[in-house]
């Protein structure tokens, strides 16, 4: 508690100094005016957001207020006056102030009323604020004091008026964001137009048996794409991971290599496999579709696996390395008996996990022309061949489910 | 008196990271067959001292001689060879958890075998027999083909001792070998170390946290405080005043039986 109070004290003086600077060095003017501006601003933001949501939802148009602007401004000012007089307003909280009686006691209702009424006279024309204390405070006998927790039961902020305000603000902002992206018609269609997908569902239920052989072939191509990409990725990622492990790459040159590899890998990883597939399709030509898909998955897998492997290497227990080194073992022996035992299972586990991802990715990559089942699906969808597309999708679902299950089981065994 | 077996001269270690001076101009000698116990508070530099002696940590300054060889001058390759003569056991045992006890014990022979064979896991028959004998010695013969992480703490430390025994060492470094064990198990482990000391004539350097253990097993005690050597003498010489000097005014001696 003590440290919290100290910090508050520091922050308070910093605020004071900043406010003084902004308002010509007049403490009374600066403090009250900035409080009023903060509160009016806060209320106005809330008002505008609320209006936006209401207008958007009810009329579908974009508008910020149903009332004339002068009325909005007046309303905001009035709300701020009430907030500052009867509660601890947003501005009070920001500046860590509170309204107290001169003797430090809780304000009486009568004092609050006086404070509120004279607030209009004292704050709106601004000039009376140059008096210290300003008229509304002089008449009500209330002053703004640094907020203290002394002799008070702390209440969590979300149970205060500001907490309510923040919650409301968050809610309205979310609604505003949603109403900005989804129109009323969209929603109506979502709930009334489900029938349009009927042909889609029907096709699921009546698979086209004549294409099963072709589909299974494409499925095998997809699995092979994933396998090939994963296998080659492992070959590259395992050695790279040692160069990308911070604890193994000591010294200036080591650190430089580490940084370059980690950096490159995160850039590669941040580009979607689909994008890589398009890139490689352009490079190796469309006739070699599965090959382009494999290359895309390979590149992405290398970067992903290198990172996963390297992170595992970074968390190995250095104690075992010490122990094996202490027997007189050389570097290769330390690698074989202290490092590898700690990483084999995690490496295999990561590889399975990546293979699992690659099968799903291979389908997606296929859609842009990367070969395999994805390409078949795309072909049927493009031709409005719903029955065939549905059949292909059934196979994809079965495959993904099976691989997911298999790899999860294997990984559980390895853990 | 015979030539000292281990000589530490003006040993200083500064960790660049954090600018910690872990050892300050530490000098002492150990004769062959001694059981030297190192005591001191946490952070006083015990682990650092032990690791400087087999150069798991490179000393910043000072010289270390073992059996007349200035090991601080050895090339990395020569040092690797020399380490075969120095066994080491650790507070947290540092075993290969997923490997069998047998494999763990055999790693004590890595320095004696050709690299390519050990990479394939091939050890000569004589080594395997030695491993079984050493496991028998520490009472773990029937656990030879059990995974190391299935053993209790005390059993794991005994595997550590068997691994050190495989090196047929002349010097054993033990860094808080019983700190992770309960009192009864501590004594059983300490007795195996004592046995190495008395029967095989292995010189022992062990850091211990409990003074009662140090008194019971040590033939000599040195004490470190903030990296400086503040005591070097017989166990009996540590009286109340010395104790407070080493551990600070607040400390109370605790017994471990
Ligand atoms: N790798 C390191 N890098 C930087 N400082 C270190 C490193 N290892 C140890 N130190 C510091 O060196 C000092 C001595 O540490 P050391 O581990 O030798 O103490 P210790 O007596 O073994 O303590 P404990 O009883 O806790 O094991 C400590 O202040 C520690 O923080
Ligand atoms: Mg230590």
* Model confidence pLDDT, tens digit, residues A304-359: 999 999 999 999 999 999 999 999 999 999 999 999 999 999 999 999 999 989 98
Within 8 A of B119 by CB-CB distance, chain A residues are 332-333, 336
The pLDDT, as a whole number, for residue A42 is 87
Task: Please state, rounded to an integer, the average pLDDT across all residues of chain A.
Answer: 82
Contact B143, B131 (CB under 8 A): no
Q: Is the CB of B19 under 6 A from ligand 1?
A: no
What does the pLDDT average to over A226-240? Answer: 93
Three-state SS at A259: helix
Q: Residue B16 is inside which H or E element, if any?
A: none
Contact across the interface for A327 and B51, Cβ inside 8 Å: no
Taking the C-alpha atoms of residue A60 and residue B140, their distance in angstroms, rounded to an integer, is: 80
DSSP assignment of A158-176, as one string? GGSHHHHHHHHHHHHHHHH
The distance in angstroms from the start CA to the end CA of chain B is: 34
Q: Which residue of A has its CA nearest to B113?
A: A329
Taking 70 as the threshold, does the pLDDT of residue A286 lie above it? no
A252-274: pLDDT as tens digits = 888 899 999 999 999 999 988 88
Beta strands in A220-310 (DSSP E): none
CA distances from A408 to A352, A353, A357, A405 (A): 9, 8, 12, 5
In 3D space, the residue among B154, B155, B174 whose CA is nearest the CA of residue B164 turns out to be B174
Residue A24: pLDDT band with limits 50, 70, 90: very low
Cα-to-chain-centroid distance, residue B14:
21
Q: B141: which strand partners?
A: none
CA of B86 to the centre of ligand 2 (A): 18
Q: Is the dihedral of CA B158, B164, B170, B176 positive or negative?
A: negative
Q: pLDDT band at A150, cuts 50/70/90?
A: low
- Nearest C-alpha neighbor of B221 from the set B246, B195, B198, B244: B246
Phi and psi at residue A275, to the nearest 5° = -65, -40
**Tens digit of pLDDT for each residue in B213-248?**
899 999 999 999 999 999 999 988 887 778 887 887
Query: Can you give the residue ranges of every domain in chain A?
Result: 14-164, 200-414
Range B143-160 average pLDDT: 93
pLDDT, residue A17, reads 60
Ligand 1 centre to CA of B45 (Å) is: 6
**CA–CA distance, B165 with B105 (Å, rounded to integer):** 9
CA distance B105 to A15: 67
Say how far apart CA A38 and CA A20 lie, in whole Å. 16
Q: Of A228, A405, A301, A231, give the one whose Cα is nearest residue A413.
A: A405
Q: Quick one: closest CA in B to A329, which residue? A: B111
pTM of the predicted structure, to 2 decimals: 0.69
Gap between the Cα atoms of A102 and A143, Å rounded: 6
Contact list in A for residue B98 (CB cut-off 8 A) is 341, 345
Q: Which residue has the higher pLDDT, A211 or B65?
A: B65
Counting every residue written for chain A, the total comes to: 415
Inter-chain CB proximity A327 and B107 less than 8 Å: yes
Question: Looking at chain B, which residue has its C-alpha nearest residue A339?
Answer: B96
**Which ligand 1 atom sits nearest the alpha carbon of residue B227?**
14
Give B218 to chain A, closest Cα distance, Å.
Answer: 23
> So what's the pLDDT on residue A5?
41
Q: Distance from B246 to chain A by nearest Cα, in Å?
A: 28
State mean pLDDT over B80-85.
95
Interval A83-93 mean pLDDT = 85
Compute CA distances A118 → A100, A141, B36, whole Å. 16, 12, 85
Name the class of domain A200-414.
mainly alpha
pLDDT of residue B257: 54
pLDDT bin (cut points 50, 70, 90) of residue A371 is confident
Assign A158 a pLDDT band (cuts: 50, 70, 90): low
CB pairs under 8 A between A and B: 77
A217-242 b/e (C-beta count within 10 Å ≥ 16 → b):
ebbebbbebbbbbbebbbebbeebbb
Question: What pLDDT digit, counting tens, does each position of B165-208 carry?
Answer: 999 999 999 999 998 888 888 999 999 999 999 999 999 999 99
């Amino acid at each position: 508690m003590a440290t919290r109070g100290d910090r508050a004290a520091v922050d308070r003086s910093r605020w004071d100094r900043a406010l003084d600077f902004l308002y010509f060095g007049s403490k009374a003017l600066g403090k009250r005016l900035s409080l009023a501006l903060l509160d009016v601003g806060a209320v106005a933001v809330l008002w505008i957001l609320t209006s936006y949501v209401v207008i958007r939802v009810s009329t579908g148009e974009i508008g910020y207020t149903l009332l004339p602007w002068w009325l909005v401004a007046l309303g905001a000012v009035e709300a701020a006056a009430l907030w500052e007089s009867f509660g601890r307003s947003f501005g009070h909280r920001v500046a860590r102030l509170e309204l107290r009686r001169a003797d430090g006691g809780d304000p009486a209702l009568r004092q609050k009323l006086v404070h509120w009424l004279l607030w209009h006279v004292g704050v709106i024309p601004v000039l009376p604020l140059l008096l210290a204390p300003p008229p509304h405070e002089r008449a009500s006998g209330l002053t703004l004091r640094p907020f203290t927790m002394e002799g008070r039961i702390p209440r969590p902020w979300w149970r205060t008026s500001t907490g309510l305000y923040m919650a409301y603000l968050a809610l309205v902002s979310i609604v505003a964001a949603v109403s900005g992206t989804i129109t009323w018609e969209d929603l109506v269609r979502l709930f009334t137009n489900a029938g349009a997908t009927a042909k889609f569902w029907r096709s699921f239920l009546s698979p086209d048996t004549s294409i099963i052989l072709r589909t299974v072939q494409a499925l095998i191509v997809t699995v092979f794409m994933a396998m090939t990409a994963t296998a080659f990725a492992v070959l590259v990622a395992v050695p790279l991971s040692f160069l990308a492990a911070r604890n193994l790459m000591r010294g200036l040159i080591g650190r430089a290599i580490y940084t370059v590899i980690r950096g490159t890998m995160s850039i590669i990883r941040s580009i979607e496999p689909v994008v890589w597939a398009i890139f490689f399709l352009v490079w190796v030509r469309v006739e070699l579709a599965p090959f382009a898909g494999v290359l895309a998955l390979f590149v992405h897998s290398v970067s992903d696996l290198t990172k996963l492997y390297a992170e595992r290497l970074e968390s190995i227990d250095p104690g075992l390395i010490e122990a094996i080194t202490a027997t007189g073992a050389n570097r290769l022996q330390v690698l074989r008996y202290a490092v590898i035992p700690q990483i084999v299972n995690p490496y295999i586990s990561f590889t399975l996990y990546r293979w699992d991802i690659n099968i799903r990715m291979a389908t997606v990559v296929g859609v842009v022309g990367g070969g395999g089942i994805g390409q078949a699906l795309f072909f049927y969808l493009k031709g409005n061949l719903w029955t065939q597309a549905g059949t292909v999708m059934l196979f994809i679902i079965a495959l993904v489910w099976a691989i997911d299950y298999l790899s999860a089981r294997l990984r559980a065994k390895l853990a | 008196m015979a030539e000292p077996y281990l000589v530490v001269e003006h040993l200083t270690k500064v960790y660049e990271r954090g600018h910690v001076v872990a050892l300050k101009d530490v000098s002492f000698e150990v004769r062959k067959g001694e059981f030297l116990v190192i005591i001191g508070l946490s952070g006083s530099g015990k682990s650092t001292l032990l690791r400087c002696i087999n150069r798991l940590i490179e000393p910043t300054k000072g010289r270390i001689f073992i059996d007349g060889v200035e090991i601080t001058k050895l090339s990395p390759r020569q040092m690797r060879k020399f380490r075969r003569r120095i066994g080491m056991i650790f507070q947290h045992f540092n075993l290969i958890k997923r490997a069998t006890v047998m494999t763990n014990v055999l790693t004590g022979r890595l320095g004696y075998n050709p690299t390519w064979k050990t990479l394939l896991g091939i050890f000569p028959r004589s080594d395997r027999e030695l491993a079984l004998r050493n496991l028998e010695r520490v009472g773990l013969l029937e656990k030879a083909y059990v995974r190391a992480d299935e053993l209790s703490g005390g059993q794991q430390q005994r595997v550590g001792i068997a691994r050190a025994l495989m090196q047929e060492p002349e010097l054993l470094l033990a860094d808080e070998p019983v700190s992770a064990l309960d009192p009864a198990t501590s004594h059983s482990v300490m007795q195996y170390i004592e046995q190495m000391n008395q029967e095989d004539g292995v010189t022992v350097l062990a850091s211990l946290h409990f003074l009662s253990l140090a008194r019971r097993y040590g033939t000599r005690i040195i004490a470190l405080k903030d990296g400086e050597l503040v005591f070097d003498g017989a166990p009996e010489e540590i009286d109340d005043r010395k104790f407070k000097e080493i551990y600070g005014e607040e400390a109370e001696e605790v017994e471990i039986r």
